[in-house]
Structure 1
Amino acid sequence: MNDLERYFREKYLSENTIKTYLRNISIFINWYSGEIINIDPIIVDNYKKYLMEERKISIRSVAAYFNSLKIFIKYIYERYKIVTKLSVINEYGKLIRVNIPHIKHKIKDINYNKELSVKEVKRLLKAALKANERDYLLFLTMTLTGMRVSETLSLKVFQLKDLMIEVTLKGRTRSLILPPSLKSKLKKFTKDFESESYIFKSNRKLDKALDRKTVYSLMQKYAGEAKLKKEKCFPHNLRKHYTVNEINIGTDIQTLADELGHKNLETLRIYKERSVEEKRKRMQKIAKKYG
C-alpha cells in the first residue's frame, strides 16, 4: 500500500481522497482472493453484490467503490504493465479505458429543507463572534466564498496580498476573489502572523491549520449556543448556503460550477430546479389573494 499511496500523491490528490481510495481498495483486496490479471466483469458483479448485500452499502456509494477499483487497475498497469481482463490497450501500449460498468444512481436531494437560512447563518456567526474571532472569520469565509472546508483551512496569510487567491484540490486549481470587507477583516486578524502561516491556525499546534473534525465540532458547539438544529449545522452546509444564494441572484449554473470547482453539474441543477419550484409556489400564493 505504501507504493500505492505514493502513486496517489504523485497525482496531487487531497489527503481525504487518498484515504478514501486506500480504504476502498483495501476492502476489495481483502475480499478478492484471486490474481489481479483475472479480474473480469463476473468478479466485478460479485463484488457489487458483496458490497450491497453483506456490507449494506447503498448503490450511490457502490459507484464510489467502483471508481476506486478503476483507479487501482490503472495503477497496476502504469506501475507494473500488468493487463487485466478489464484493461483495454491501444496500439501504442497505453491503457486507454477500464471497462468496469458505470453504476447509475439518481442524485437525491437529500438536504432539502436542511439548508441554513440567512437568519440562521447570521445567528451562527453571531455566536461564533462572541466566543472567538478566528472561528467567526472561518465560518464567514466559507459563507461568502463557497469554499470547501479543506480549501478554507489551506489558506495562508501571504495569499491576502493578491487580488485573487488560488485554491487547489484534487490536482485542480481555481482562482477566487475575496469580498473586500472579508479580506480587510482577515488582514486585521492576521497582522502579527508570519507570511507562511495558516490563517486559521490550530490552538494546539500553531504551525498547523485547524482540522476538519475540529471545524465540525466548533460548528456544532455554536449551533447549540445559537439555538439552531444541529443536524443542519455542518461545514459543507455553508457551501450549500452560498450556492443557493448565487442561484437566487441569477448566476448561471456553468459559471457557478467553475467558481465552486464542480465537475458534475447535476447537483447544481437540483438547486436550480428547487429554486424555480419554490418561486412558482410563492407566485401561486400571491395569485390566490386576487382570486
Structure 2
Amino acid sequence: MTDLDKWIIKMREEDKSINTIESYKGDVIQFMNFIEKEPEEITKEDILKYKEYLALNEMSVKSANRKYISVNSFFSFLQTELEKDVQMRIKKDKIQNQEYLEEMLAKEDFENLVQVASSYNDYRAVAIFNTLFYTGMRISEALQLKTTDISNDVVVIKGKGSKHRNVFIPQKLKSILNTYMIYRLPCKSDALFTGKKGPINRKTVDAIIKKYAAIAGISMTKAHAHNFRHLYCLTLIEKGLTIDTVADLAGHSNINTTRIYTRKTKNQLLDTINDL
C-alpha cells in the first residue's frame, strides 16, 4: 500500500466527503508528477517552480491555494502519522483585490520581440509570438495546432477544463504561418510547432520567449507565454469590444476574469493623474 493510499484511508476515517478526497488526491498526484521527487527530497526551488507552473497555466490564486492546502495536508500526514522527514510546506499566496493591472507585456514589447526574432531569422519564434497574440490562445492550446489548421479561418481547440471552443485565425497570422512552414524542419509529426526531435513543449516556448526578451531588453517578469494572451484581451477591450465578446473569444468561463482588462495599469493611472 502506498503512502497516498494510506492518506486516503485516513481522510475517509475522518469522514471527509468523496469530492474533497478526490480533489485532494488529484492535487497531490499532479504535484508529485510535476516534481518527480520523493517528498523528503523536495526543495524550496521545487516549490517555486511548481508555483510558476500554475501561474503559467493561468491558475487563479484561490485555486492554487486550494492545491497548496491539499499538498500540505499530505505532507503533514507523512510527517505526523508515518514519521517521515518531510519539513517542506507550501506557503499560500495572498489574494489581493487590486484596482489596477500589473504591468504586462505592451504592444511595443510584442513588436520588439517579433523584430528581434526576425533579425535572427527565427521563423518559428516569429510564428509562435504572433499565434499567441493574434489568437489569444493559452500555450497549451497553441501547441495543439496542426499544420493543416493554418488554412482554416476557424480552429476548434480543446481549452481549459476540457472545453472546446472556436479560435479565429486572422489573415495576417495565416501569412506569417505560411512563411514559417517554408522553413519548418522536416518532421513526421503533424504538429505545427516542432523542433529537431518532434513537437515542442511549454518549456521550450518559455525558453524561446525569455531568450528574445533578454535580447530585446524586456523585463523577465513580462517574458511568459500567458502575457501574450493578456495583451490580446487588453487590445480587444481597447478596440471597443464588449466584455461578453472578449470573454467568448478568450474562452473565459468567468466573465470577472475578462473584466480585469477594463482596468488600467498603474503607469496608465499615474499618467492620467499627472495630466490633471
What TM-score do the two structures reach when normalised by structure 1? Answer: 0.61
Partner of 2:15: 39
> Contact between 2:213 and 2:219, CA under 8 Å: does it hold in 1?
yes
Cα 1:267–1:34 shift into 2, 3 Å: same
> Contact between 1:146 and 1:243, CA under 8 Å: does it hold in 2?
yes
Secondary structure in 1 matching 2:233: helix
Partner of 1:183: 174
Range with greater deviation from structure 2 (169-178 or 227-236):
169-178
> Contact between 2:134 and 2:232, CA under 8 Å: does it hold in 1?
yes
Q: Does 1:235 align with 2:225?
A: yes
Report how far residue 159 of structure 1 moved.
1.4
> Contact between 1:109 and 1:270, CA under 8 Å: does it hold in 2?
no
Matches within 5 A, 1:1-150: 31-34=7-10, 36=12, 38-40=14-16, 61-64=64-67, 106=95, 108-109=97-98, 112-131=101-120, 132-150=122-140
Structure 2, unpaired ranges of 5+? 29-43, 52-60, 72-93
> Contact between 1:115 and 1:237, CA under 8 Å: does it hold in 2?
yes
Q: Which of the two has higher C-alpha Rg?
A: 1
Q: Does 1:248 align with 2:273?
A: no
Q: State the alpha-carbon separation in 2 of the partners of residues 238 and 199 from structure 1.
A: 18
Partner of 1:7: none
Q: CA RMSD in A?
A: 3.9
> Contact between 1:166 and 1:176, CA under 8 Å: does it hold in 2?
yes
Q: Does 1:173 align with 2:170?
A: no
Q: State the alpha-carbon separation in 1 of the partners of residues 13 and 177 from structure 2.
A: 54
Cα 1:235–1:256 shift into 2, 3 Å: same
Cα 1:213–1:37 shift into 2, 3 Å: same
Report how far residue 63 of structure 1 moved.
2.9
Q: State the alpha-carbon separation in 2 of the partners of residues 181 and 280 from structure 1.
A: 32
Q: Does 1:226 align with 2:216?
A: yes
Report how far residue 278 of structure 1 moved.
8.0
1:123-168 Cα offsets, whole Å, 9 max, x none, are 1111122221011110111011110111111111111232211111
What letter is aligned with 1:122? E
Provide the aligned length of Structure 1 versus Structure 2: 214
Secondary structure in 2 matching 1:136: helix
Cα 1:147–1:34 shift into 2, 3 Å: same
Q: State the alpha-carbon separation in 2 of the partners of residues 175 and 118 from structure 1.
A: 24
> Contact between 1:107 and 1:266, CA under 8 Å: does it hold in 2?
no
Cα 1:262–1:226 shift into 2, 3 Å: same
Report how far residue 216 of structure 1 moved.
0.6
Cα 1:64–1:251 shift into 2, 3 Å: farther
Cα 1:107–1:271 shift into 2, 3 Å: farther
> Contact between 2:156 and 2:164, CA under 8 Å: does it hold in 1?
yes
Taking every aligned residue pair, what percent have the same amino acid on both sides? Answer: 24
Partner of 1:198: 191
Partner of 1:14: none
Cα 1:135–1:168 shift into 2, 3 Å: same
Cα 1:145–1:232 shift into 2, 3 Å: same
Higher relative CO (Cα under 8 Å, sequence separation at least 6) belongs to: 2
What letter is aligned with 1:236? H
Q: State the alpha-carbon separation in 2 of the partners of residues 216 and 111 from structure 1.
A: 26
